[in-house]
Every structure is written in structure tokens, then in C-alpha cells.
Amino acid sequence: MYIKLAIQNMKKSIRNYVIYFVTITLTAAMMYSFLSLGFSKDVLSMSENMSMLTSGILGMSVLVALIASFVISYAIRFMLEQRKKEFATYELLGMETSNIQKLFFIENGVIGMAAFFIGTFSGIGLSGVLVQIINHIFEMPHTYHISFSIKAFATAFILFMLMYGIGILRAAKVIRKRKIVDMLYDHQKNENGKKHSVRFHITLIILSVLCILTGGCLLAKGMSVQTNVFYVWMIGAVILSAIGIYEMYRNLPVLLLRLLNKSKRRRYKDINLFYLGQIGRKVDSAGKLMAVIAILLTVSLSTMFAGLSTGAGYKANMEAYYPYDAGVALDAPLTKECLQPMIEFTKQQCSVEDELIYYLYATDAYPVEALALSDYNHLRCMLGLKSVSLSSNEFFIHCDTWNYVEKIQKALEQTSEILLAGSVLGIAETAIYTEPMEQYQMAGTRGYILVVPDQVATQLSGEKIRLVMKLENGGYPELKQALKKFLHDPNAWTPVLQDGKGLPEQVTMGVTVKAWGIENSLTGFAAISFCGLYLSIIFIILSSTILAFEQLSKIDYNRRNYQILDKMGVAQKTRRNLIKKEVGVLFFIPAILPMIIMMFLIVGANQVFGEAILQENLFLTYGIVTLTVFSGIYLLYYWATTSVFQYAVLKKEFYK
């Protein structure tokens, strides 16, 4: 009996369930597709650290389930509000509260399970796309194919039951506590609004603008800092920006409506009086909600843009981070001969096409290491770069770290000569070279290095020794572990100090292998990018859902208002357009400032980091991708909300 009644109720209320159904379907699709990516054996086999992607996606999925549970609770409460008269009637006819709960749970269970399975089916197709993207990032041959992951399905189902269970339990509590009289007449209660003066709103708007601008300044300052103080600046930027956005949305719409209502010509034109009244009530009742949604959308867009552009930027700059096939760095004054066994060991593992053992020389008078010209040109040759020439009384700087270039240029303008090992050296015609050479370990340790003639370098002290090798086909990832094991095996390799030199208190050793670096470094950035994308899309979906239900929550009140317009002879086409504009205001006002901030982020990122990224227009490209994904989801919810609103308000049966 209850199942039959529940099915009849679902058919009758199908329009009310559209937004609810779409949200659960999209959430289930996103959850399954990303979990399937995290559990994919093909993806996990790409690198030894790929398990961090699985851990990240699992963590994000639990967070998504918890957040979605509150939104589902919000949605279920909306359904209860729409059905409260019906439930009150059931109680008046003698149906027990427990049976009403059972009826409601059956309806929601059927809707929820249908949405979950449809979402999972859609997620299977989407997971194939995500695997394609991962394969493209790792430059592996790939073709699109879909597969079903039982682990992903089971995990998604457990998390779905968690978020759905929390929502259902909260709904049961609401049904149990509501009185019949409240369910019958709650929609007739008036709302009390609190009004402030125009001066009050203007003051808060000015303060909110100052907060946002100050937050932007702190963000710019933080980007220029390379210490832990960065986090202090960023936290300050986020807090001030959030406060500014919140207060802007709490006051600017109210102020604009006040100003519009002061213009009698505009206010009484056509049916603007009705429209402004509708919008005014929306702004008064949903002002805080729009402010919070604006903050969530700002966070979502920023996170998605940062995740996508960071991952893509790192991939584009991979050659700069790992220019050499294999390298060994020892911050100790060892002899070149003692590194020969390491070359012989490597030759046993793979073919070595070229090698170079060289020193980073100490320059006591200057905060920079020196490199001999011949060694520098050998490195350039290994990287496929042209050799450079240098007179016996000249020097130049190599700096591939973009944020130091300007400082070095200014320093060279102030100092045209240096004194090194008894020789006076002047600036070469080309003072700075900037090709990628990895200058925090191999070609320097500070992000830049001084290149001097060989006869000057031989007079300096070689305090740090380096070995660079060019390997056939770039080597293989496991070579890194093999070299580290060789270095630490006293039976295989023994370091030998230069005459008269001693070991420093702390010896830093480093091994780099390009194949390993590309494989495992991309893993971290892939994890960041995909987790950021996952969380951002879910936030956009849930924010849109809340806006949709807020718009539909006063459906009885709006139905009466539009019924008055109908009786006054206002055409249905005009009323439909009014609904589109009314829903549009609630949807698009919260999106305006986040999109403006997003534009500034794109321009700012391009200005600050553009020169450091080897791929042209990368930030613009991924900014457009971010806005496209956001617009697609947001417009889908706007269309669905408008359709449901028009059906509920304008359909003649509701007027009877």
C-alpha cells in the first residue's frame, strides 16, 4: 500500500524532484569517476608514488560526502516544505507519523537510488575521459576505453549511503517535531525584515572594497616571498577577501534596490513595481545566502584554476626542472677521479653517451658560486644549446630562476667589475643567460651562477663536485635508487678528498634521474590538479543546488503573486520572462564578483608567472577552461530551476 502510494506521489511531484535528482546524479557521477581513476591499476602502475592520488581522492570523497549530506538535508527539508499540507492531511485522516516517515523515506529512497545508479553509469563514461587525461599528462600511448571498477562502486555506494543516511535522519526529526497546524498554515506567516539607512550600506560597501583590495595586495606580497611568511600573507589575503565579498553581497544589492525604488519613473514603468518587489524580498531573505555562495564560488573557481594551471605549468616546465638525464651532487671537495667508478657503474645499468665531472668553485668575496667556462659549455652541449665565448678578462651570470633576473640586472648596473683570484673581470657583452640548467643543485645552488674563464676558475677552490651524464633513451626511473644504493655502499664506492681539504660538518648528497623525476613529480601535481578539480566541481554543484532550492522554497507565495498578475491581464509570455529575470538575479548576482576576481587572477598569474612558464598563454587557456566548466554547470541549474519555477507558478492547475 505504502509503496503504491509513494509511487503515485512521486509521479505527482516529479517536477519538485528535478533539482534534487540532478544534484544526486551529478554528485554520484563525479564521485564514482574520480574513485575509479584512483583505483585504476593502469593509473597506479604509472609511478611508484601514484598511491598519493588514490589517498587524495579518497580524502576528498569523504569530505564531499560530509558536505553533500548537509545539502541533501537542505533539499529534503525543501521537499518536506512542499509536501507539508499533504502530510498534515494524512495525519488528520488518521495516519501515524511513523507511517508518514516510512512513506517519505520510500519516495526518497527510490529517487536517491535511481539517481545513484544513473550517476554511476554516467561516471563510468567520465572515468574513461579522466584516465585519458592522466595518460596524456604522462605522455603514454592511450585510446579511450571504459571499464567498471567494483572497488570504486562499493566505495561510492558506502559514501552515498553515509551522506543520504544523514539527510534522511534529519528529515525524520523534522517530520516528528512538526505540528499539524504549522504544516497547514506556516506558509502564511509574515517575515520580519530589518532595514538600515543608505549611509550605513554605503559605509559597509566602501569597507568591503578596501578589504578586497587589501586582500589582493597581501596576495601579491605573498607571491613574492619564498619563506614560511608566505602562509601568513596568504591566510590574511583569504580572510580579508572573504570578509569583503560577504559584506559586499550583504549591502550592495540592497543599496541598488533602494536607489532604483527612488526613481518613480523607472519604478512605475510597466510591471517594474511587481518585479522590484519580488527582487527586494529575495535580497532581504537570501542576502546572507548569496554572500556565502559568492565566497564558495570564489574558492571553487580559484581552486580549480590554481590546480589546473599549476599542473599544466609544471608539465610544460618539466625540461627546466630535469634538464639532465642523470646527475650526482656532492657538497664536498672530492677529487674528480673518485667519481669515475660511479660512471662505470652506470654504464653497467644503461648506455652512457656523455659525461662530465666538474666543480662549483667558492668565491669568498661574493654570495655566488663560480663555474669554469669549459664545464659550462660542456653542459650546454649536453642540453643541445650552443656554446658561448668569453674573453680572459670577462664574466657573465647564468640565471634560470626568473625572480632573480631583475635583481641581478640591477646589481650589474651598479658593479661593472669584480675582483676574483687576483684578476679583474668585466661584464661580458651578454651579461645574463637564462636557459634552463637546474640551478639549485647541479649548475649552482642559489638559482644562479658566475661563469668565469678557465684560468680564473683553476685559481679558485672547488668546494662542491658534480657529475652529469647523458644516457641512451634518457635512462629509466629505477636508476635513481640504484645510484643512491651505490653511493651509500662503502664496499662499492669510497670518497677521496682533495689534498689539504677536509669534510664539512654536513655533507649534502643528491641524485637526480630525469626519468624518475618526470614520472614521480608529475604524480604529485596530477594529484593536486585532480583533487582540486574534483572538489571545485562538487562545490559548484552544491552551491547551485542551494540557490535553486532557495528560489523554489517560496513557491506558494510566488504562485499567489503571479496569480494576481494573471488576473490583471498580464500575458503569460511576460510572466515567463519575469520569472527568468527573477531567477537570474538570485543566480547571477553571487557569480558576478567571483568571475571578476577570476579575471584578475588570470591576468595577475600571467603577469607574475607568465615569463616563467614555457607554454604560451597557459594561464589564459586554463582560465577559460575553468570559466567554461563553471558556466556549464551553473547554466544547467539555472535552466532547471527556471523550468520548475515556471511549471509550478504558471500552470493553471495550481490556481484552482
Tell whether 200 is covered by a domain: no
Asked if 477 and 584 sit in the same domain, the reply is no
Mean per-residue pLDDT, 358-385: 92
Q: How much is the pLDDT for 97?
A: 66
Q: How much is the pLDDT for 185?
A: 47
Mean per-residue pLDDT, 523-551: 84
Tell whether 68 is covered by a domain: yes
Cα(398)–Cα(432) distance, rounded to whole angstroms?
5
Q: How much is the pLDDT for 356?
A: 95
- Report whether pLDDT(296) > 80: yes
Last residue of a domain, one of 481, 507, 533: 507
Asked if 286 and 305 sit in the same domain, the reply is yes
Cα(600)–Cα(212) distance, rounded to whole angstroms?
12
Tell whether 195 is covered by a domain: no
Asked if 318 and 344 sit in the same domain, the reply is no
Asked if 179 and 257 sit in the same domain, the reply is no
| Enclosing domain of residue 421 | 332-507
pLDDT bracket for residue 306 (50, 70, 90): confident
Cα(383)–Cα(377) distance, rounded to whole angstroms?
10
pLDDT bracket for residue 468 (50, 70, 90): very high
Q: How much is the pLDDT for 183?
A: 46
Structural domains of the chain, count: 4
Question: pLDDT for 320-344, tens place per residue?
Answer: 678 899 999 999 999 999 999 999 9
Q: How much is the pLDDT for 505?
A: 77
Cα distances from 230 to residues 212, 524, 584, in angstroms, run: 18, 21, 39
Cα(618)–Cα(312) distance, rounded to whole angstroms?
8
Tell whether 159 is covered by a domain: yes
The CB-based long-range contact list for 55-62 (8 Å cut-off, 24+ gap) reads: 56/527, 56/528, 56/530, 56/531, 57/530, 57/531, 57/534, 58/155, 59/531, 60/34, 60/531, 60/534, 60/535, 61/31, 61/34, 61/35, 61/155, 61/156, 61/159, 62/159
Tell whether 297 is covered by a domain: yes
- pTM more than 0.75: no
User: What percent of the chain shows pLDDT beyond 90?
Assistant: 19
Tell whether 190 is covered by a domain: no
pLDDT bracket for residue 433 (50, 70, 90): very high
Mean per-residue pLDDT, 181-209: 66
Q: How much is the pLDDT for 359?
A: 94
Asked if 28 and 177 sit in the same domain, the reply is yes
- Report whether pLDDT(22) > 80: yes
Asked if 67 and 177 sit in the same domain, the reply is yes
Asked if 304 and 363 sit in the same domain, the reply is no
How many CB atoms within 10 Å of residue 263? 11
Maximum pairwise Cα distance, the chain? 106
Among 125-129, 142-146, 587-591, the range scoring the smallest mean pLDDT is: 142-146
Last residue of a domain, one of 445, 472, 507: 507
- Nearest-5° angle of CA 544, CA 546, CA 549? 110
Asked if 179 and 91 sit in the same domain, the reply is yes
Identify the DSSP state of 385.
Answer: P
DSSP states along 537-560: HHHHHHHHHHHHHHHHTTHHHHHH
Among 171-175, 528-532, 621-625, the range scoring the smallest mean pLDDT is: 171-175
* Amino acid code (one letter) for 598: M
Question: pLDDT for 514-536, tens place per residue?
Answer: 888 877 777 777 787 888 888 88
Q: How much is the pLDDT for 174?
A: 63
Beta strand segments in 414-548, E? 417-420, 423-433, 449-452, 461-471, 509-513
Asked if 464 and 583 sit in the same domain, the reply is no
Mean per-residue pLDDT, 448-460: 93
Higher pLDDT, 580 or 11: 580
Identify the sign of the CA torsion 427, 324, 380, 466: positive
Cα(300)–Cα(187) distance, rounded to whole angstroms?
34
List of residues 6+ apart from 567 with CB closer than 8 A: none
Mean pLDDT, the chain, whole residue set: 81
Asked if 39 and 125 sit in the same domain, the reply is yes
Torsion-angle region of 315 (φ positive above 0: left; ψ -120 to 50: alpha; else: beta):
alpha
Torsion-angle region of 444 (φ positive above 0: left; ψ -120 to 50: alpha; else: beta):
left
Among 73-87, 112-126, 315-329, 390-404, the range scoring the smallest mean pLDDT is: 73-87
Asked if 546 and 460 sit in the same domain, the reply is no
Cα(656)–Cα(644) distance, rounded to whole angstroms?
19
Tell whether 580 is covered by a domain: yes
> Which range, 7-16, 89-98, 320-329, has the best average confidence (pLDDT)?
320-329
Question: pLDDT for 593-615, tens place per residue?
Answer: 889 889 988 888 887 777 667 66
Cα(544)–Cα(534) distance, rounded to whole angstroms?
16
Asked if 316 and 388 sit in the same domain, the reply is no
Which has the closest alpha carbon to 320: 442, 491, 211?
Answer: 442
Tell whether 198 is covered by a domain: no
Last residue of a domain, one of 464, 485, 507: 507
Mean per-residue pLDDT, 163-172: 73
Percent helix / strand / coil, the chain, rounded to 5: 70, 10, 20
